[in-house]
Structure 1
Amino acid sequence: MAFNNKPKKPHLISFHSNVFTTLLFILAFTVPLLFLILHTSTSYLCKPPFASNKVKSWSGDLRNTLFAWNRLPFPHIQSPPVTLKIAVFSRKWPIGTTPGGMERHAYTLHTALARRGHRVHVFTSPIVNNNGHHPDVLTTSNDSPRIHCHEGEAGKWQYNKAWELFNDENQRQPFDVIHSESVALPHSLARNLKNLAVSWHGIALESLESSIFQDLTRKPNEPMSPAFNASLYGVVPKVLNEIRFFHNYAHHVAISDSCGEMLRDVYQIPRKRVHVILNGVDENGFGNDLSLGLDFRSKIGVPKNASLVLGVAGRLVKDKGHPLLYEAFSRLITKHPDVYLLVAGSGPWEQRYKDLGARVQVLGSMSPSQLKAFYNAIDIFVNPTLRPQGLDLTLMEAMMSGKAVIASRFPSIKGSIVVNDELGFMFSPNVDSLVEALEEVVKEGPKRVAHRGKASREYAASMFTASKMALAYERLFLCIKNNTFCVYP
């Protein structure tokens, strides 16, 4: 991998104000109507379009598909039919830091494409290595992406400076395709790029729904969060603004089936410009290893007579659903004292979990190798997220490790992850529903749950691997370059 660094050259409105009252009145009517339109016009959000994970004998123009490209088999030939020069705009590149889901997606995807021989150039913010320095040039191998860091503060994205670096490289030899991770490349620059594809890791309409679910976790006499209060003023205009400017992007990649439906039906993007490609995780980094899991349990002190071990991973923040899991598990252990919870991650809810006592093991942030052991140590994975947008990679990692899951019943998850009951359990995003799901798992016991885990592993291995994701994106990028590659098979 090579790095190039260019030389350095409200005030909140009162809750009782008339404006706020009027806005709440508008929201009370417009938001439910918007969701009603969304859910009635997209009939399969609560029912996947295909009962199985494979599409049998499908052929035609890939741009007409309404399902995830992951469902199609793409031959893994040694070399691609055409070597592409690919430009990637990513706000951050995960070197020496704990990456978020979008950065991990960018890294996994474009590292895989570079290994297949494509010339990948990543335009990103300055990176600080483990020694605390900005690397001027760092080379690892010829089959890695070439990283172009714009000048400035580490981790602070300045798209105009990245655009300058892109133009310099594009003038040397034009790029075949340009890929933006969400709005890393703003629409004002994207509108003139016919060979651009943007992957959406969350859109404003999903964010609005997320804010509502988070506020519903409040206690009856708990005041509304000032941040949520303030966000209401901008969220609906943001949705409308997105609907208007999204048309400036030539091609859209939705990372869930439900997001694809929203882009087509609500954001009104022509179907030939919306492509659903689910995220993938490194198939070599996650797998079923019973002995590794048992060793990990012993190391962290989980007793051998534990009746069931639950696991949760990720940032320990409110929007990831930790208020729900904290309360639900507190209730569960009063009836089932031999059930344990392993918590991988750090954040504001870390201490609260520790306060629950010996039945909860808070492990802090973990490396990928540690996470592999963590997933193998649990019986079932819990994802209580309150964020309908995107697709949490931890669900895919757990399933790749042979674990069934318990997940929030959101269209994105039900339509793309837990596509049938054998893969796990789903619950409405509230404490009572989560407690019901946990009680079902306890009743089934680890043996039946392990059988579900095998089905999860089979489904994940066919849909969520880095290889499958990279081959699908490769075919899309080839299609953008030359229409003949749009015809499948």
Structure 2
Amino acid sequence: MPSQTKPKKPNSHFRLCTFLFFTVPFTIPALLLIRASSYSSSTSAVFSCHDTTQPPWSGDLQTAQFAWNRLAFSLTNPPPKTLKIAVFSRKWPTGPNPGGMERHALTLHTVLARRGHRVHVFTSPLDPSHETNKNTNVSDKITNPTIHPHGDAEPGKWRYNKAWELYQEEDQKQPFDVVHSESVALPYWKAREVPNLAVTWHGIALESLHSSIYQDLIRKPGEPRSQSFNASLYSAVLPKILEEIRFFHNYAHHIAISDSCGEMLRDVYQIPEKRVHVILNGVDEHGFTSDEKLRSLFRSKLGLQENSAAIVLGAAGRLVKDKGHPLLFEAFSKLMETHSNVHLVVAGSGPWEQRYKKLGDKVTVLGSLDSNELKGFYNGIDIFVNPTLRPQGLDLTLMEAMLSGKPMMASRYPSIKRSVVVNDEFGFMFAPNVEALTAVMEVAVAEGAERLAERGRKCREYAAEMFTASKMALAYERLFLCIKEKRFCIYP
């Protein structure tokens, strides 16, 4: 290997980057596909929804390479041991529209606190204009996490060193049983000092590389590639992936939020299997349910009669490119040319908001919605569309829509295919391009509202078993108990 002090020839650097561009995105998925096929054949029979013919799984949970959400945990039984849990989160949600990572942290650790665990959250300063997590009475102190926002920064500005100092002060009073970091909130050079640490990865660099490729592939003919894309691909992506693979080993336990991410951590990042655990995200099962009254009310606001045969497609999230809105915009534009009984409702705000409004009265842009408004949105649509160009993590909107009884129309990525749309009855998957999305839209509209509702009922049954906040929290609880004492690693 040449010395780092010796400059590389520009053409050599270009050839290396070109080789990376064309080989990494395709060789890695091929490797995962081979492993996924063997995984699916060995586990699908055991974990099929409502399948009672197979014996329940048992053994060392540390060896389980499937999502822990598939296992049975009891919400009615109290925890066998009360834990003191430290949480490092860059932000703690106080406003009306938190990000996915913040929502995950709030949902998870609120449930754990209400189960009796003593949860301490170390985070950035809270926004005083939206602060809703102040503990004002004794019952709140028992049932909610204790928040430790560090000082010397603006609201939302994360300084891990300040949070670490607060953690050390609290740890000296009584040592924490387990420490949980939301992604790299706790840097790896600090993580080395914490043997009882578990980190949840909401996205990794290799998945980000795939996202950059998919976004570039939708460029129109003649449209130049952005300078930021070139700079990111050729000078930042490969070093970042290699750096991640090296420093990830400093974290004691890794929690992947999708089956495919777990495979990458084991096979590509080379994390020992016993240190990688798959726990899918969960959302409030009481907040997102099927409600006919909400459906009728929402559709009446769209101007649709009770017996209308119109098919309403819905999308939710930030209206930005990487969420796939260029695909949705063009595909629905084509759909309107051949169908008069279709409507698109978009919940969210961002640069694409004004473009959607140009499509006329068949498209409704709702802007950002709070949780109560989202309930009406999910109930009012016939099918949920997620055209994301980011094959990383698991979008919480997918789970919210499924719990609300809606079928899926989603990009065919391993994370979604293996963890969410695991059954053809749950909806439709498509390659992330306009032609493929338009084709599945045509099929869904042809099926009609009654058939889509049937698919939605099956989605809800599956989501109620896999994607609830309770199931997610119980899986984390068992992992944290396992980290504390090895006897809890044996299931059941």
TM-score tier by shorter-chain length is over 0.9
Amino acid aligned to 1:95: T
- Going from structure 1 to structure 2, the CA distance change for 1:342 and 1:286 (only over 3 Å counts) comes to same
- Does residue 461 (structure 1) correspond to residue 432 (structure 2)? The answer is no
Q: What is the aligned partner in structure 2 of residue 295 from structure 1?
A: 297
Quote the offset at 1:220 in angstroms. 1.1
Q: What is the aligned partner in structure 1 of residue 7 from structure 2?
A: none
- Does residue 21 (structure 1) correspond to residue 23 (structure 2)? The answer is no
Q: What is the aligned partner in structure 2 of residue 13 from structure 1?
A: none
Q: What is the aligned partner in structure 1 of residue 208 from structure 2?
A: 207
Contact 2:94 2:133 in 1 (8 A): no
Aligned-partner Cα distance in 2 for 1:483–1:53: 30
Q: What is the aligned partner in structure 1 of residue 335 from structure 2?
A: 332
- Does residue 177 (structure 1) correspond to residue 178 (structure 2)? The answer is yes
Amino acid aligned to 1:86: I
Aligned-partner Cα distance in 1 for 2:248–2:262: 13
Quote the offset at 1:216 in angstroms. 0.6
Amino acid aligned to 1:451: E
Give the alignment partner of residue 372 of structure 2, picking from 369, 372, 381.
Answer: 369
Aligned-partner Cα distance in 1 for 2:186–2:392: 20
- Going from structure 1 to structure 2, the CA distance change for 1:289 and 1:317 (only over 3 Å counts) comes to same
Aligned-partner Cα distance in 1 for 2:213–2:41: 23
- Write the mapping of 1:27-426 to structure 2, written as runs, cut at 5 A: 27-31=20-24, 32-43=26-37, 49-50=43-44, 52-53=48-49, 56-130=55-129, 140-151=140-151, 152-232=153-233, 233-303=235-305, 305-426=308-429
TM-score (norm 1): 0.93
CA shift digits 1:220-244 (9 cap, x unpaired):
1111012211110211111111111
TM-score (norm 2): 0.92
Aligned-partner Cα distance in 2 for 1:35–1:478: 34
Amino acid aligned to 2:119: V
Quote the offset at 1:400 in angstroms. 0.1
Aligned-partner Cα distance in 1 for 2:13–2:217: 19
Amino acid aligned to 2:30: L
| SS of corresponding position for 1:178 | strand
**Aligned-residue RMSD, C-alpha:** 1.9
Aligned-partner Cα distance in 2 for 1:119–1:221: 58
CA shift digits 1:83-126 (9 cap, x unpaired):
00000000111112411111100000000000000000000011
Amino acid aligned to 2:338: K
Quote the offset at 1:25 in angstroms. 2.3
Quote the offset at 1:42 in angstroms. 4.0
Quote the offset at 1:191 in angstroms. 1.1
Question: Structure 2: where are the runs of 5+ without partners?
Answer: 1-9
| SS of corresponding position for 2:289 | coil
| SS of corresponding position for 1:453 | helix
Amino acid aligned to 2:468: T
Quote the offset at 1:53 in angstroms. 3.7
Contact 2:73 2:475 in 1 (8 A): yes
Aligned-partner Cα distance in 2 for 1:196–1:410: 29
CA shift digits 1:303-354 (9 cap, x unpaired):
5535200000011111111110000000001000220011000011111111
Quote the offset at 1:201 in angstroms. 0.5
Contact 1:309 1:378 in 2 (8 A): yes
Quote the offset at 1:41 in angstroms. 4.1
Q: What is the aligned partner in structure 2 of residue 7 from structure 1?
A: none
Quote the offset at 1:20 in angstroms. 6.5
Amino acid aligned to 1:87: A
Of all paired residues, the percent bearing the same amino acid is 65
- Going from structure 1 to structure 2, the CA distance change for 1:382 and 1:199 (only over 3 Å counts) comes to same
Contact 1:48 1:414 in 2 (8 A): no
Amino acid aligned to 1:149: P
Quote the offset at 1:192 in angstroms. 2.2
Q: Which range moved further: 115-124 or 49-58?
A: 49-58
Quote the offset at 1:45 in angstroms. 7.8
CA shift digits 1:351-383 (9 cap, x unpaired):
111111000000000000100010000001000
Q: What is the aligned partner in structure 2 of residue 438 from structure 1?
A: 441
Aligned-partner Cα distance in 2 for 1:145–1:414: 34
Question: Structure 1: where are the runs of 5+ without partners?
Answer: 1-16
Aligned-partner Cα distance in 2 for 1:327–1:352: 11
Aligned-partner Cα distance in 2 for 1:254–1:175: 23
- Going from structure 1 to structure 2, the CA distance change for 1:285 and 1:158 (only over 3 Å counts) comes to same
| SS of corresponding position for 2:361 | coil
Contact 1:91 1:124 in 2 (8 A): yes
Contact 1:63 1:271 in 2 (8 A): yes
Quote the offset at 1:39 in angstroms. 3.3
Aligned-partner Cα distance in 2 for 1:337–1:48: 46
Q: What is the aligned partner in structure 1 of residue 3 from structure 2?
A: none
